Amino acid sequence: MIGVAVVLSGCAYFASAPPENVSLRPAPSRLPTYTVSGQTIFATPGPINVAVQPLVPEEVHRYFRSRPSRVNPFQEMGDKITPFFVRIENRSKDQVAFDPGGAILKDNEDRPFGALGVTDLYDMFGDRQALLQAALKGVFVSYVIVLPQKSREGLLVFPAFPKDAEALFLQFTSLYAGPTPYPLIFEFTVVPEESKE
């Protein structure tokens, strides 16, 4: 398998880069509704299944190459972004609604970063239509509706995390099944590549 939002400007988006040769590893699950398998965290609150996996540049490339456009708009960005693959499965009789504008990435110092939005994509790719369209279709940037017994998948893309970060917390503050909210937090540790198991 492959809340307040922070608004990003085009300049702030590339403000820092993460330390070299590090990766994100799912933290051990603390709640029974969360499980970890490999690099993926699964959350199963109520009638919703949510899978979240941090991606390295090669995985981002494979994700976009598997899509109809076969164009990776983030190919040149490497360590300037922090991307996550997200899959939301609806097992309820109501529709599930997810607002990516309510997705927040915080580090262990409680520094928040908002997910890349439509305005950011236009600022980045507006003059390159093929890249813009590939990004708009592959990244969750607008309200996501998941019909009953269906699933949706896409990327959430954040700025590069701070160089001194030791842990990251991905928060979903706007996820609903019908009228019922299901806020989620996915925890990851930042580990040097040489210490990966």
Whether residue 54 lies inside any domain: the answer is yes
The number of distinct structural domains making up the chain is 1
The pTM is what? Answer: 0.86
d(CA 2, CA 88): 13
- pLDDT score of 196: 46
Whether residue 2 lies inside any domain: the answer is no
Q: What is the pLDDT of residues 90-144, one digit of tens each?
A: 999 999 999 999 999 999 999 999 999 999 999 999 889 999 999 999 999 999 9
Whether residue 173 lies inside any domain: the answer is yes
Residue 42, helix vs strand vs coil: strand
Residue pair 167/111 in contact (Cβ under 8 Å)? The answer is no
Which is higher by pLDDT, 185 or 20?
A: 185
Residue pair 73/64 in contact (Cβ under 8 Å)? The answer is yes
Whether residue 1 lies inside any domain: the answer is no
Structural domain for 81, as ranges: 10-195
Specify the CATH number for the domain of residue 176.
2.60.40.3340
Whether residue 163 lies inside any domain: the answer is yes
Closest CA to 153 of 169, 133, 137: 137
Residue 147, helix vs strand vs coil: coil
